[in-house]
Amino acid sequence: MKREAIRATVQAYVDAVGATDPDAVLALYAPDATVEDPVGTDAHRGRDAIAAFYAKSAGYHNESELLDCRISGDNAAFRFRITTTLPERTVEVTPIDVMTFDEDARITSMQAFWHTSDYRVVRPR
């Protein structure tokens, strides 16, 4: 069922982001997908641009948890927690992401809603 396939892609996305695994993240995207993160900035278009974008997050230890997911037609909006351990502190943010999907439940577009002021320091060093 399409809804279950979409839900599985969303869960796999959150897991792969939490595992800081850019290749696993990239495999969930359709070749001509777009990524707008955060919303309001220029979108990254296509696998190469998306790969470069996610590669920037490699090297940090992250944890992630899918908190809420709403699937509507062939679209999903979901809230998740991502914890990032930087050299000087551990920070946490709970973005809301919106995705569209193709027939194989691959991501055709992603939009991430968050702002730097949403970050919360959970552990100073």
Question: Any idea which residues carry the catalytic annotation?
Answer: 13, 37
Pairing assessment for the beta strands 96-101 and 44-45 based on DSSP bridges: unpaired
Cβ-proximal residues to 24 (8 Å cutoff; 6+ apart), any chain: 12, 15, 16
The answer to the question of residue 118 lying near a copy of itself (CB under 8 A) is yes
The amino acid that residue 104 corresponds to is D
- Residue located via tokens 């001509």: 32
The answer to the question of residue 70 lying near a copy of itself (CB under 8 A) is yes
Q: Which of 10, 17, 26, 95 binds a copy of itself (CB under 8 A)?
A: 95
- In the three-class reduction of DSSP (H, G, I as helix; E, B as strand; rest coil), residue 39 is classed as strand
Which 72-91 residues touch a copy of itself, going by CB under 8 A? Answer: 72-79
Q: Which of 71, 81, 92, 108 binds a copy of itself (CB under 8 A)?
A: 71
Kindly determine how many residues on this chain lie close enough to bind a copy of itself according to the rule CB under 8 A. Answer: 25
The amino acid that residue 56 corresponds to is K
List of residues contacting a copy of itself (CB under 8 A) = 3, 38-41, 68, 70-79, 94-96, 98, 112-115, 118
